[in-house]
Amino acid sequence: MKPEPYRFNGLNLTNAQTKIDEIADKFSKHKLIEFNGCDASNQERYDFMLKIGSRLNWKVDFDVPGQVQFTYEEDHHLSVEAAQQAEKNNDNDIVVAWHLEHPYGRHPQLGALWYMDKKICPKECGTTGFIDTRVLLQMLDTDDYDFLSQSEIAQMALYFDNENDDIETFSAIETGSNRDFITIKHPNQQTVYPSYLRKPINPHYITGEELLRINPKGHYTKNGYRGHDRLVRFDGRKPTDLEQQRFNSINEWLYSNVQNNEDIAYFKHWDEGDALLVDVYSLIHCVRGGFNIGERYLKGIWGFPNVPDLPREPEQADQTESPRSFWTDQI
Ligand SMILES: [Fe+2]
Q: Any bridge partners for residue 128, and if so which?
A: 268, 287
Q: Considering only residues 272 and 96, tell me which one the structure prediction assigns the higher pLDDT.
A: 272
Instruction: Determine if the pTM surpasses 0.95.
Output: no
pLDDT band at 193; cut points 50, 70, 90: low
- How far does the centroid of ligand 1 lie from the alpha carbon of residue 115, in Å? 13
Residues 6+ apart with CB under 8 A from 107: 179, 180, 304, 305, 307
Query: How many CB atoms are located within 10 Å of the residue 138 CB?
Result: 12
Of 24-33, 138-147, 208-217, the least confident: 208-217
Note whether 120 and 159 are same-domain residues.
no
- How far does the centroid of ligand 1 lie from the alpha carbon of residue 322, in Å? 32
Give the environment of ion ligand 1: residues with CB less than 5 A.
101
Give the Cα separation of 19 and 23 in Å (integer): 6
- How far does the centroid of ligand 1 lie from the alpha carbon of residue 294, in Å? 18
- How far does the centroid of ligand 1 lie from the alpha carbon of residue 186, in Å? 25
Note whether 149 and 206 are same-domain residues.
yes
167 pLDDT exceeds 60?
A: no
- How far does the centroid of ligand 1 lie from the alpha carbon of residue 320, in Å? 32
- Mean pLDDT calculated for residue range 139-167: 73
91 pLDDT exceeds 90?
A: yes
Of 31-40, 120-129, 317-326, the least confident: 317-326
Of 251-255, 293-297, 307-311, the least confident: 307-311
68: Cα within 13 Å, side-chain hemisphere? 5
Of 46-60, 91-105, 136-150, 207-221, the least confident: 207-221
- Mean pLDDT calculated for residue range 8-34: 93
- CB burial of 35-51 (b: ≥16 within 10 Å; e: otherwise) equals beebebeeebbbbbbbb
How many domains would you assign to the chain? Answer: 2
What pLDDT does 294 receive? 94
What pLDDT does 236 receive? 86
Within a domain: 277: yes
Note whether 274 and 191 are same-domain residues.
no
Closest-CA residue to 216 (of 205, 202, 203, 227)? 227
Within a domain: 170: yes
Residues 6+ apart with CB under 8 A from 46: 60, 69, 71, 301
Q: Considering only residues 82 and 227, tell me which one the structure prediction assigns the higher pLDDT.
A: 82
- How far does the centroid of ligand 1 lie from the alpha carbon of residue 258, in Å? 15
Q: Domain containing 186: what range?
A: 135-258+314-325
Q: What is the CA radius of gyration of the chain?
A: 20
pLDDT band at 103; cut points 50, 70, 90: confident
* 3 state SS of 174: strand
172 pLDDT exceeds 50?
A: no
Within a domain: 331: no
- Mean pLDDT calculated for residue range 269-284: 97
Note whether 56 and 82 are same-domain residues.
yes
Note whether 128 and 271 are same-domain residues.
yes
Mean pLDDT of the chain: 81
- How far does the centroid of ligand 1 lie from the alpha carbon of residue 285, in Å? 6
Determine whether 113 is exposed, middle or buried from the number of CB atoms within 10 Å of its CB (0-12, 13-18, 19+).
Answer: buried
Give the Cα separation of 103 and 153 in Å (integer): 10
Note whether 177 and 212 are same-domain residues.
yes
- How far does the centroid of ligand 1 lie from the alpha carbon of residue 100, in Å? 7
- How far does the centroid of ligand 1 lie from the alpha carbon of residue 27, in Å? 18
CATH number of the domain to which 289 belongs:
3.60.130.10
pLDDT band at 227; cut points 50, 70, 90: low
- How far does the centroid of ligand 1 lie from the alpha carbon of residue 101, in Å? 5
Within a domain: 330: no
Note whether 116 and 139 are same-domain residues.
no
- How far does the centroid of ligand 1 lie from the alpha carbon of residue 309, in Å? 22
pLDDT band at 168; cut points 50, 70, 90: very low
Within a domain: 191: yes
- Mean pLDDT calculated for residue range 112-116: 97
Note whether 162 and 104 are same-domain residues.
no
Note whether 149 and 238 are same-domain residues.
yes
What would the pLDDT profile of 30-89 be if each residue is shown by its tens digit?
999 999 999 999 999 999 999 999 999 998 887 776 666 678 889 998 889 888 988 999
- How far does the centroid of ligand 1 lie from the alpha carbon of residue 116, in Å? 14
Note whether 70 and 214 are same-domain residues.
no
- How far does the centroid of ligand 1 lie from the alpha carbon of residue 99, in Å? 6
Note whether 19 and 88 are same-domain residues.
yes
